[in-house]
């Protein structure tokens, strides 16, 4: 039995937390056991516990990659639990504690934010290289794009394993979708596009609003669902009013049951122009046969098969996205084929079972000799 201690500093449930939950759901319980260390009052406590996985709470490291005070406490936990592997999800404090306890350390970098220029072009590059390589036996990148960002910053490719995310299937529920349509006044003839993501500037909501404006000017009957919350929400709402799109944009707020909003969409959009690795929302939509239009940015090209499961378009190009939407509105057979292609791609590449097996292969590789797979 291989014992893995996960350390995650998030107090909310973001992409890293959802990835942890996806793995725990499909973990090979005959070969692996897991525990999860989280900050006190983290929103992850309940869902992790519901999977019958032990949770260890720590009064430190809340939403901080590096928290000096947490290192001592984490060392105490690691010494007590004595895992075979410490798997940290961002947490530098966890990586330091794990290595100081003499453990094998796996580190997943869940984001694809580029390293600042002053890191890649100055001696500080050596500091980052040391922090990444010395305190990790293996670094997991969630897409080839994420791996390239690290190697561009000087981190050895021998330390990096690439694995795409995987998710549980989301069931289409037309009954729930009808409730949402009635609530927000979506009519039978409306074509519904949607973006399911945190409302942050780099997620491209403004560009999707510009796309919607173009479509309305072309006389198209389109509704846009914006599901989620974030620090940029006020600006997006203001821009919606400025463009006169209040009657065509639906803000749902935080969505716990994603099946309802995804089932109400004809096309899911990802308009990120930075940071995207392998979008969990896109994968969830694929699992129910929902076609995609996504920027050819970061990890998206490794998810979307052009003209098979969806379309890629240049970041910040509202006109290109509008052209894709209009083509799919006019060709419902093509829309249907893309949906089937999305479902097939999910089943072949992005299931929770595939994700868990890939991660467990990495664990075994690290324990065998720590060398490159």
Q: Which of 145-149, 262-266, 267-271 comes out lowest in average pLDDT?
A: 145-149
Predicted pLDDT at 131: 85
> Strands across the sheet with 2-7, in order?
55-58, 32-39, 2-7, 85-89, 104-109, 138-141, 160-162
Cα separation, 345 vs 133, in Å, equals 34
Does this chain's domain 2-166+352-368 share its CATH topology with 174-349? yes
- Topology of the domain comprising 2-166+352-368: Rossmann fold (3.40.50)
173-204 residue pLDDT tens: 999 999 999 999 999 999 999 999 989 999 99
Cα separation, 258 vs 333, in Å, equals 25
Predicted pLDDT at 90: 84
Residue 333 burial (CB < 10 Å; 0-12/13-18/19+)? exposed
64-101 residue pLDDT tens: 998 999 999 999 999 999 999 999 998 999 999 999 99
Extents of the domains making up the chain? 2-166+352-368, 174-349
118-169 residue pLDDT tens: 666 667 778 888 888 899 999 999 989 889 888 888 889 999 999 999 999 9
CATH number of the domain located at residue range(s) 174-349 in this protein: 3.40.50.2000
Q: What is the mean pLDDT of residues 306-329?
A: 97
* CB-based contacts of 258, cutoff 8 Å, min separation 6: 170, 196, 227, 281, 284
The DSSP secondary-structure symbol of 301 reads G
The DSSP secondary-structure symbol of 289 reads T
* CB-based contacts of 219, cutoff 8 Å, min separation 6: none
């Amino acid at each position: 039995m291989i014992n893995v201690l996960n350390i995650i500093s998030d107090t909310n449930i973001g992409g890293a937390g959802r990835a942890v939950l996806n793995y725990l759901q499909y973990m090979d319980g005959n070969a692996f056991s897991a525990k999860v260390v989280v900050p006190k009052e983290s929103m992850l406590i309940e869902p992790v516990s519901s999977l019958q996985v032990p949770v260890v709470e720590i009064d430190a490291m809340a939403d901080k990659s590096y928290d000096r005070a947490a290192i001592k406490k984490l060392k105490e936990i690691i010494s007590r639990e004595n895992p075979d592997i410490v798997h940290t999800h961002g947490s530098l404090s966890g990586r330091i504690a794990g290595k100081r306890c003499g453990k094998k350390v796996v580190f997943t970098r869940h984001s694809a934010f580029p390293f600042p220029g002053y890191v890649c072009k100055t001696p500080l590059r050596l500091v980052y290289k040391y922090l990444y390589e010395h305190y990790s036996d293996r670094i997991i990148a969630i897409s080839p794009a994420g791996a390239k960002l690290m190697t561009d910053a000087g981190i050895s490719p021998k330390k990096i394993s690439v694995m795409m995310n995987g998710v549980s299937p989301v069931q289409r529920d037309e009954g729930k979708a009808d409730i949402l349509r009635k609530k927000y006044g979506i009519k039978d003839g409306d074509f519904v596009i949607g973006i399911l993501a945190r409302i942050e500037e780099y997620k491209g909501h403004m560009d999707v609003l510009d796309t919607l404006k173009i479509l309305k000017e072309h006389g198209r009957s389109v509704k846009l669902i914006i599901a989620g919350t974030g620090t940029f929400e006020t600006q997006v709402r203001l821009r919606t009013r400025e463009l006169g799109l209040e009657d065509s944009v639906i803000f749902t707020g935080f969505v716990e049951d994603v099946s309802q909003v995804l089932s109400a969409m004809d096309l899911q959009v990802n308009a990120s122009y930075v940071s995207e690795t392998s979008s969990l929302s896109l994968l969830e939509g694929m699992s129910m046969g929902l076609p995609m239009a996504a920027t050819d940015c970061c990890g998206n090209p490794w998810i979307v098969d052009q003209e098979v499961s969806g379309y890629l378009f240049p970041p910040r190009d509202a006109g290109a996205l509008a052209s894709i939407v209009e083509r799919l509105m006019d060709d419902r057979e093509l829309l249907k084929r893309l949906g089937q292609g999305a479902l097939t791609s999910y089943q072949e590449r992005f299931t929770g079972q595939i994700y868990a097996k890939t991660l467990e292969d990495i664990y075994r590789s690290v324990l065998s000799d720590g060398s490159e797979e």
